[in-house]
Amino acid sequence: MTSARRAPGRVAVHLLLWGYAVVALLPLVVMLLNSLRPTSEIFTAPLRLPTSPTLHSYLKVWTDASFSTYFLNSLIVTVGAVLIGTAVSALAAYPLARHDFFGSRFLGAYFLAGLMLPIRLGLVPIFYLMDSMGLIDSLLGLTLLYAASGVPFCVFVLSAFYRSLPGELDEAARLDGAGEFRIFGQIMLPLVRPALASVTLFQFVPLWHEFLYPLVLLRSDEKFTIPRGLSQFFGEYTTDWSALFAGLVLATAPLFVLFVLATKQIIAGLTAGMSK
């Protein structure tokens, strides 16, 4: 009787989720189809299947438009920022979560305050800071900026995971003669692997598509990231929409692969602590 009552609710939930999936995937399908047709056909039949599919736009984007350079720059900046930000956050979150020392609450509140201040509000002071350090038009400067911007969120998430681990682990390790760095590296860090996967993904996605700071800080074409490079497909009078869609498909592909490879870790990270 109970299952019969729940059946309509489950059907409604499944229909709602499938409807959301269709709405979310439809723009991606349109983007993929339009990348396989010439620009002239996009204006006449943007929602139909391509009459004569071609990969010419992909070849044009990858070679003539220097997309391979933009892709490599984005990969260097984003992966470097995620690795630095995650490493610093993991080291900072551990003592904040597992030790009670003088100033720990102040430091925790300091990191938490970073979540309340959007990085875009600091555009002008960050520009002058980068200029004084000689990091304008530098991939290193952009990488360090991105890494710092993700630290508050990562510290907040990782601290919660560190606190959820039983205190007996620390005590048992210390009785065996393990030091703090060994406890952190061999015991604590492997146990928060789902959280590390989650914060890695949540950093990677927005940084991969970030446009404002590359626009402000980068000057040379050979140092442009993907969002900055794709903006050059927009002309004052004409726009190569087919090449633009091809570039968007290539830019989205790494995110799709990342989601597929890290799905289990992400789900484990988001649901950890919900059940005992």
Of the candidates 80, 57, 62, 72, the one whose C-alpha atom is nearest the C-alpha of residue 222 is 72
Q: What is the pLDDT of residue 76?
A: 95
Confidence of residue 217 (pLDDT cuts 50, 70, 90): very high
How far apart (Å, rounded) are the C-alpha atoms in residues 174 and 159? 21
pTM of the model: 0.82
* CA distances to 70, 72, 139, 153, 225 from 222, in Å: 7, 10, 10, 31, 9
Please list the alpha-helical segments (H only) found in 47-138: 56-59, 67-98, 104-113, 123-132
Q: Kindly report, residue by residue over 164-207, the tens digit of the pLDDT.
A: 888 788 778 888 777 778 888 888 888 888 888 888 888 998 89
Question: Are 86 and 240 contacting, i.e. CB atoms less than 8 angstroms apart?
Answer: no
How far apart (Å, rounded) are the C-alpha atoms in residues 49 and 34? 9
Q: What is the pLDDT of residue 30?
A: 86
- The three-state secondary structure class of 243 is helix
Q: Kindly report, residue by residue over 33-67, the tens digit of the pLDDT.
A: 888 888 778 777 777 788 778 888 888 888 777 88
- The three-state secondary structure class of 234 is strand
Over range 18-27, report the average pLDDT.
86
Question: Are 36 and 50 contacting, i.e. CB atoms less than 8 angstroms apart?
Answer: yes
CB atoms within 10 A of CB 156: 18
Q: What is the pLDDT of residue 90?
A: 92
Question: Are 77 and 142 contacting, i.e. CB atoms less than 8 angstroms apart?
Answer: yes
Question: Are 65 and 251 contacting, i.e. CB atoms less than 8 angstroms apart?
Answer: no
Q: What is the mean pLDDT of the chain?
A: 83
* Amino acid letter, residue 47: L
Of 54-58, 73-77, 173-177, 246-250, the poorest mean pLDDT is in: 173-177
**Residues contacting 86, CB < 8 A, separation 6+:** 150, 154, 196, 199, 200, 203
3-state DSSP helix/strand/coil % of the chain, to nearest 5:
80, 0, 20
